[in-house]
């Protein structure tokens, strides 16, 4: 049986021993990185600088919510707006593995700059077991190079510290509840963020579309779950597809984009089953997306594949 108190005490002692000087941690506000930031901050106090990088790929309202959470946690933090350089790096890139690697490398470059300014030699990351298992380890096949594993440049000049490396998501949540971290029940969100929810090139325009659609999916599923119409799924979001299809608006022909809604049940993200969302909820999502985003989207589809054979994200 996993014991959160023992895990936290052991890891804090280890972090104290490992981090001999100053460190930075990249924290997206997700469960994994927030738990890692709280533990590292308890271990070394203000010798740790928590950095939130706004890549431009964040969800609606996310940056503001993370700032509020950091204020509440009392960690030493800095918000960095790097959206210009992330969008520039995505220009013309369509291959999912390249997107992840480029994003991983950009993150590290931003951290290196910030680490230099702060005088840090250590980089703490909230990497968990499925991240490196799926990224391949010489024995296993690469399924996807999670941005914080396969994306790390070989010439990185900081020492990596990964206190959650052996944990699975459900265990991280147990630790989060033990530490009283408010995001303990949040759905997982990938580090490359909305960039991998736009199939193909992640332009500003495409990211804006998927951001709006993701917000509608989240809102409607959370409302329906709170009203007892369904249980809240493990993960739920929208994906912008790279194809257009014919529709009709009023009595005029339209040629618009397609949004895929994805929602899954899982325990650790390693396998997943698509959620049996009530049709009435799916319909509300579809009607809202096609009404509120009518100049961009005229078709909404629901993904009914399990993992395996597919994966949770589309890229
Ligand atoms: P997949 O798509 O591999 O996703 O079935 C399993 C879980 O991992 C998340 N995911 C990522 N998380 N960096 C991350 O930090 C990534 O590159 C990445 N890719 C997928 C995904 O959202 C799901 O929860």
Task: State which of 129, 145, 146 you would mutate to test the pocket of ligand 1, scoring each by most atoms of that ligand within 8 A of its C-beta.
Answer: 146
| Helical pair 83-90 and 96-118, crossing angle rounded to 10 deg | 150
Q: Give 135's contacts (C-beta < 8 A, 6+ positions apart).
A: 142, 143, 144, 145, 146, 149, 150
pLDDT score of 141: 66
Burial, 309: exposed, middle or buried (Cβ in 10 Å; 0-12, 13-18, 19+)?
Answer: exposed
pLDDT score of 184: 86
DSSP 165-190: TT--HHHHHHHHHHTT-GGGGPPP--
> Residue written as tokens 């533990």?
39
Structure tokens at 217: 């999916």
Ligand 1 center–CA 250 separation, angstroms: 39
Atom of ligand 1 nearest to the CA of 315: 2
Q: Round to whole Å and give the CA distance between 181 and 279.
A: 34
Give the distance from CA 121 to its chain's centroid: 25
Q: Which residues pair with 240 in a beta bridge?
A: 198, 259
Among candidates 36, 117, 114, which has minimal Cα distance to 80?
Answer: 114
- C-alpha distance across the termini of the chain, in Å: 34
Q: Assess contact for 31 and 202: CB atoms under 8 A.
A: no
Pocket lined around ligand 1, Cβ cut-off 6 Å: 100, 131, 134, 144, 146-148, 188, 190-192, 235, 269, 307, 311-313
Structure tokens at 235: 């993960």
Count of C-beta atoms within a 10 Å radius of residue 208:
17
Q: Which residue, judged by its Cα, is nearest atom 22 of ligand 1?
A: 190
pLDDT score of 136: 65
pLDDT score of 146: 67
Give the H/E segment covering residue 131. Answer: helix 129-134
Tell me the torsion sign for CA atoms 5, 65, 135, 82.
Answer: negative
SS3 label, residue 104: helix
SS3 label, residue 8: helix
Task: State which of 27, 103, 144 you would mutate to test the pocket of ligand 1, scoring each by most atoms of that ligand within 8 A of its C-beta.
Answer: 144
pLDDT score of 206: 98
Ligand 1 center–CA 199 separation, angstroms: 15
pLDDT tens, N- to C-terminus, the chain (315 residues): 899 999 999 999 999 999 999 999 999 999 999 999 999 999 999 999 999 999 999 999 999 999 999 999 989 999 999 999 999 999 999 999 999 999 999 998 998 899 999 999 999 999 999 888 876 655 556 666 665 665 566 677 789 999 999 999 899 999 999 999 988 888 989 989 999 999 999 999 999 999 999 999 999 999 999 999 999 999 999 999 999 999 998 899 999 999 999 999 999 899 999 999 999 999 999 999 999 999 999 999 999 999 999 999 999
Q: Assess contact for 159 and 13: CB atoms under 8 A.
A: no
Count of C-beta atoms within a 10 Å radius of residue 164:
25
pLDDT score of 133: 80
Q: Round to whole Å and give the CA distance between 238 and 302.
A: 9
For the beta sheet containing 159-161, the strands, ordered from the edge strand earlier in sequence to the opposite edge, are 77-81, 48-54, 22-26, 120-124, 159-161
Q: Round to whole Å and give the CA distance between 220 and 279.
A: 12
Q: Which residue, judged by its Cα, is nearest atom 9 of ligand 1?
A: 190
Task: State which of 187, 275, 312, 314 you would mutate to test the pocket of ligand 1, scoring each by most atoms of that ligand within 8 A of its C-beta.
Answer: 312
Ligand 1 center–CA 315 separation, angstroms: 9
């Amino acid at each position: 049986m996993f014991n959160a108190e023992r895990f936290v005490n052991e890891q804090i002692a280890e972090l104290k021993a490992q981090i001999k000087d100053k460190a930075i941690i990249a924290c997206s506000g997700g469960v994994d990185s927030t738990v890692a930031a709280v533990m590292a901050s308890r271990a070394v106090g203000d010798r740790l600088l928590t950095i939130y990088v706004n890549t431009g790929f964040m969800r609606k309202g996310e940056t503001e919510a993370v700032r509020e959470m950091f204020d509440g946690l009392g960690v030493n933090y800095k918000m960095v707006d790097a959206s210009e350089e992330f969008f520039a790096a995505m220009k013309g890139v369509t291959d999912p593995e390249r997107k992840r690697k480029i994003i991983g490398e950009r993150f590290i470059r931003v951290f290196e700059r910030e680490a230099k300014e702060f005088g840090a030699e250590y980089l703490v990351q909230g990497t968990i077991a499925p991240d490196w298992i799926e990224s391949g380890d010489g024995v296993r096949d690469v399924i996807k190079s999670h941005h914080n594993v396969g994306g790390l440049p070989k010439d990185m000049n900081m020492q990596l510290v990964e206190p959650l490396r052996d944990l699975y998501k459900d265990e991280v949540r147990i630790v989060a509840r033990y530490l009283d971290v408010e995001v303990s029940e949040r759905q997982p969100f990938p580090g490359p963020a909305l960039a991998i929810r736009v199939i193909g090139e992640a332009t500003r325009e495409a990211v804006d579309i998927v951001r709006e659609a993701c917000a509608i999916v989240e809102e409607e599923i959370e409302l329906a779950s709170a009203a007892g119409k369904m249980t809240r799924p493990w993960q739920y979001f929208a994906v912008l597809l790279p194809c257009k299809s014919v529709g009709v608006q009023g009595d005029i022909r339209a040629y618009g984009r397609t949004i895929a809604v994805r929602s899954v049940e899982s325990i650790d993200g390693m396998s997943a089953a698509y959620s049996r969302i009530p049709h009435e909820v799916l319909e509300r999502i579809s009607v809202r997306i096609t009404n509120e985003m009518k100049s961009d989207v005229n078709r909404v589809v629901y993904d009914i594949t399990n993992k395996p054979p597919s994966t949770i994200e589309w890229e």
